[in-house]
Amino acid sequence: MDFHKTRGALLAPLILIGLGVLGTVMLVGGLTGGSGVRIHGIFFLAPIGAIAGLVLLINALRRMVVRIDERGILIEHPAKRVKVALGWQHVAGVSVTTLPKPGDAKQRSTYLTVWPHGGLNPGVPQNWMIQNDGWTGYRLIDTADLRESDDQITQVLRQYAAPVLR
């Protein structure tokens, strides 16, 4: 089954672009007005905000492929530098698990997590590794990035990965 990327991450970049453009217009107007108008220093950051918003928008619109089928798990998420093609024969366990976010132990999120045989990295950033009961596992993708619910993901895992489902 193919899973689809959520479009919820588009709002923040669009707001940042809008505020950045508005601030840039106000900055240019203040600089070229010639009436001795004093410009607040924050307006000099507006062009940077507009560019940062564009970068976030481009990353939010980048293609993402998530497929779970009889062959295994395929994930391509260039914005997060993740590329995984993992057959079921290489998987000791797989689950949909709530874990701390990488680099921020205070925040938690739900991840599609895999424990490959031998603990070999399937193609994700090294800081996505977790340890549990002597097993080395990897967060493959935050389920909040997908339109489908955690229950739908679990149902597909039951269908294709029942022997290794944790």
Say if residue 47 is in the same domain as residue 85: no
Average pLDDT of the chain is 86
- pLDDT score, position 166: 67
* Whether residues 112 and 149 fall in one domain: yes
- Same domain for 144 and 123? yes
Same domain for 46 and 69?
no
Q: What is the pLDDT of residues 26-69, one digit of tens each?
A: 888 877 876 666 777 788 899 999 999 999 998 888 888 899 99
Region 84-108 average pLDDT? 87
Give the C-alpha separation, 148 to 119, whole Å.
28
The last residue of a domain, from among 29, 61, 93: 61
Q: Which tokens in the block code for residue 73?
A: 């798990």
Helices (H) and strands (E) in the chain, counts: 3, 8
The full 3-state SS of 82-127, as one line of letters, equals: EEEEEEHHHEEEEEEEEEEECCEEEEEEEEEEEEEHHHCCCCCCHH
- Same domain flag for 9 and 81: no
Per the listing, tokens 């307006």 go with: 43
Same domain as 156, residue 89: yes
User: 93 and 56 share a domain?
Assistant: no
Full DSSP string of 145-159: GBSS-HHHHHHHHHH
Q: What is the mean pLDDT of residues 81-99?
A: 88
- Residues 131, 97 within the same domain: yes
Question: Could you list the residue range(s) of the whole structural domain that residue 20 is in?
Answer: 2-61
Please give the tally of structural domains in the chain. Answer: 2
Using one digit for the tens of pLDDT, what is the confidence trace for 61-77? 888 889 999 999 999 88
